[in-house]
Amino acid sequence: MAGPTTEGKKLNRSFGGLALLGILLVIAGLVGLVYTGVATLTSMILFGWLLLIGGLAGLLHAIQARGTPYFWLGVVVAALNIAAGVVVIRHPHGTAEALTMFAALLFLTGGVFRLVGSVVVRGPQFGWTLLQGAFGLLLGLLVLFDWPHSSLYVLGCFFSLALLFDGLGLISIGIGGRRIVSLVTDQMAPEEDEK
């Protein structure tokens, strides 16, 4: 049976691995923020491959489920994913333009709904909701007025920010986990000495 110190060392290595992965994600996010055009194309190609692989996996699953009432639905969904993946991989710029337009419209509608909702409801978070709505509306208008040029950097910026914040989260989990493990193993060490 492994002792607490052995388990503590394993946990320390695991949390260290999380922190290392977080550092790599932060570096990738920072590089992506510098080269947003490359990050946009990279995210589009990754998205296309995920659709393609997901569609192929769905098709294999549908073939294995022959004879069930959902067979044809599985085939249609898999075929749509495969077709969308091929289109995204072959035309990443056009896909980025379409998704940027979609993001701008989401920001606009979300901003308008938050603005109207905050004025109508006037709840305890009135100021924050109003500010959030105004920010969403402004962001949507900025992206929309610069479209299609904004498609070169908007998605790459979002992708890079997601990597950056995910990386920071993993670093904090890794460092915090290592601290907790060291506190617990330090507490258990005197108890083992007494035995």
Residue 23 in tokens: 């550092």
Please check whether residue 25 is in contact with residue 163, taking contact to mean a CB–CB distance below 8 angstroms: yes
Q: Where are the beta strands (DSSP E) in 27-172?
A: none
| pLDDT one-digit tens code per residue, 134-170 | 888 888 888 888 888 888 878 888 888 888 888 888 8
- What is the predicted pLDDT for the residue at 3? 53
* Cα–Cα distance for residue pair 6/8, rounded to 1 Å: 5
Tell me the pLDDT of the chain (195 aa) as tens digits.
Answer: 455 567 767 777 788 888 888 899 899 889 988 888 888 888 889 889 999 999 999 889 888 888 788 888 888 989 999 999 999 899 988 888 888 888 888 888 888 888 888 788 777 777 787 888 888 888 888 888 888 888 887 888 888 888 888 888 888 888 887 787 777 776 665 555 555
- What is the predicted pLDDT for the residue at 69? 81
Please check whether residue 143 is in contact with residue 154, taking contact to mean a CB–CB distance below 8 angstroms: yes
